[in-house]
Amino acid sequence: MIDFQKVAYSYGGGELLSEVSLTLAPGSFHFLTGPSGSGKTTLIKLCYGELLATAGRVNVFDADVRSLSRDGVAAMRRRIGVVHQDCQFLDHLPLAENVALPLTVSGRDADAADLADLLTWVGLKPLSAQRPPELSGGERQRAALARAVIMSPDVILADEPTGNVDWEMSQRLMQLLIELNRMGKTILIATHDLNLIRSTKSQVPARVLRIRNRRLQLAGSDL
Amino acid sequence: MRAPFARLTAVFAGDRQADRVVPPTGIIARLTGFTAAAMAFLAVFALALSLASGRLAERWSSALANSATIRISAPAGQMETQTRAVLRILKTTPGIASARALTREEERKLLTPWFGPGLALDNLPIPQLIDIRETGTGFDAEGLRQRLSAEAPGALLDDHSRWRRPLALAADRLRLLGLISIVLLAGAMAAMITLAANAALAANAQVIRVLRLVGARDTYIARAFVRRFTARTLGGAVAGTGLGMLAVALMPSAQPDGGFLTGLGFTGIRWLWPLMIPPLAGLVAFAATRVAAFRTLKGLS
């Protein structure tokens, strides 16, 4: 699905990621951890082409991201659901229309019943007419997850999806992601919450990747 | 040829959902409509000026090509003799279709605008005028002048070219200026819409970013802006053109002796010409917004 080959990313004269090699196989579940500022968000952005590697090669769905046209990047992003750290909503649209946005921009109509089911699944059905600024942090995270899965993408990337929510809500969000993984979706979650990783690993065979000193390594029992 | 047409029809086909993803642009959109209305209003007048100048140039050019006048100034006793001599000469001059001496009544009418009605013409040394109509080939003015000076020394040929040619040229230039004004108005409108579109795109940078992140193509995002600005411009141009046509219609109607300004209105089928202004304004808005939108989008990841 996603394959990094000796990828580096530099910004402002300094190298943020170096020699990163990574393969996300179909149906796999990965955590990406590391201290704040270590490059987790950068790595996620490299996966969906918001950033381009300064060295090495990023292949997504067997295509080099660098070689994709702008329409090609758009088509690729329709196959990847992303839960952004800051959610990235359109504040002038109600929640339901924000969740359906990936369908809207691809020229498809959202089936009302399917949309209602999805909002019920994330527990936001009663809030579907609210606008994003009226929602709490947890509600926004769940709405972002709903938007990420509405196109039934092959890959779901989540950047600190539990960053703004309490433990109970973070468990609920993780259950949703575990459920999606069981449906065959490839999941990559960036988080620095080790307790969350431990509790999830007890339910799903997840691999944990850690960014340390600009390089990516597989975390082991030291978690 | 089909691709641009398809792009155009896609814009006018409308997409309610796509329109909603871009928030209302408020004052920018309203100013765009107002400016388009003002430009269209001015364009109607520029067009009216250009068409009226065209009519004037044609009228003067046609008169220049087909007529001439001979003025006979002679003592009262010789006037009739010289007039007969001139008419005789004209009869035998190739290129002259007809020639006739104006009556006293016709001469009085010609002088009325300057001296007022009730002019006692018999008491004034008024020259005798002879009106000449040419054939299509025209006549040899220099040869005629030489014959006249030999046989009717008081006769002076005026082939009108001295004053009609510069006037026809001036009218032609005025028509050109009217057309240049329309082109400049279209250019100013394009510049204004480009600025407005750039401002709207900059104000919606975050919206565009989100749309790109969820997989929107540049065409989809650009179309939302293009449709909005094209519709605003079209609406404004329709209003401005309507007001402009009304203002032209309310101008005094053309009078034969009313001069240039009373002939400024449109005539007959020419009333259809200003109806071209709104679609042209829409096309200018479409092209300007599209170029601005794609240039901005190319700068985003």
| pLDDT average per 10 residues of sequence, chain A (223 residues) | 92 89 93 90 94 94 93 94 89 93 88 90 90 90 91 92 80 87 93 88 90 86 60
Q: Each residue of B214-242: pLDDT tens digit?
A: 999 999 999 888 888 898 999 999 999 99
Min Cα separation A145/chain B (Å): 12
Tell me the mean pLDDT in the region B168-189: 85
Nearest Cβ partner of B23 from A51, A74, A92? A92
Chain B CB contacts of A104 under 8 Å are: 17-18, 21
Hey, how many other C-beta atoms are within 10 angstroms of the C-beta on B96? 18
Contact between A173 and A165 under an 8 Å Cβ cutoff? The reply is yes
- State residue B126 phi and psi, 5-degree precision: -85, 130
Q: What are the chain A neighbours of B18 within 8 Å (beta carbons)?
A: 104
Is B126's pLDDT higher than 60?
yes
What is the percent of chain B where pLDDT is above 70? Answer: 87
CA distance A220 to chain B (A): 33
DSSP for B87-118 reads HHHHHTSTTEEEEEEPPHHHHHHHHHHHH-SS
Find chain A residues with C-beta within 8 A of B209's C-beta.
88
Q: Binning pLDDT at 50, 70 and 90, where does residue B263 land?
A: low
CATH class for the domain made up of A2-218: alpha beta
Average pLDDT rounded to a whole number, residues B125-151: 87
Q: Which residues of B touch A (CB under 8 A)?
A: 17-18, 20-21, 23-24, 207, 209-220, 297-298, 301
- What is the full DSSP assignment across A53-102? -SEEEEEETTEEGGG--HHHHHHHHHTEEEE-TT----TTS-HHHHHTHH
Instruction: Name every chain B residue with its beta carbon within 8 A of the beta carbon of A77.
Output: 212-215
ipTM comes to: 0.88
Each domain of chain A, given as residue ranges in start order, spans 2-218
CB-CB under 8 Å, A90 with B207? yes
The two three-digit tokens of residue B192, written as one number: 């204004």
> What does the pLDDT read at residue B255?
59
A residues 36-55 closer than 8 Å to B (CB): 48-52
CA distance A71 to chain B (A): 6
∠ CA B147-B149-B151 to the nearest 5 degrees?
Answer: 65
What per-residue confidence (pLDDT) applies to A176? 84
Among the partner residues A49, A75, A88, nearest to B210 by beta-carbon distance: A88
Given this model, what pLDDT does residue A168 score? 81
Chain A to chain B Cβ contacts (< 8 Å) = 61
- The verdict on a CB contact (< 8 Å) between A78 and B215 is yes
Measured between beta carbons, the chain B residues lying within 8 angstroms of A74 are 212, 215-218
- Residue A33 pairs in a beta bridge with A210
pLDDT at B142 over 80: yes
- DSSP character at residue B267: -
Average pLDDT, chain B: 83
- Structural domain boundaries of chain B? 2-61+165-298, 74-153
Beta strands across the sheet bearing B155-158: B96-101, B128-134, B67-72, B155-158
For position B215, what pLDDT does the model report?
92
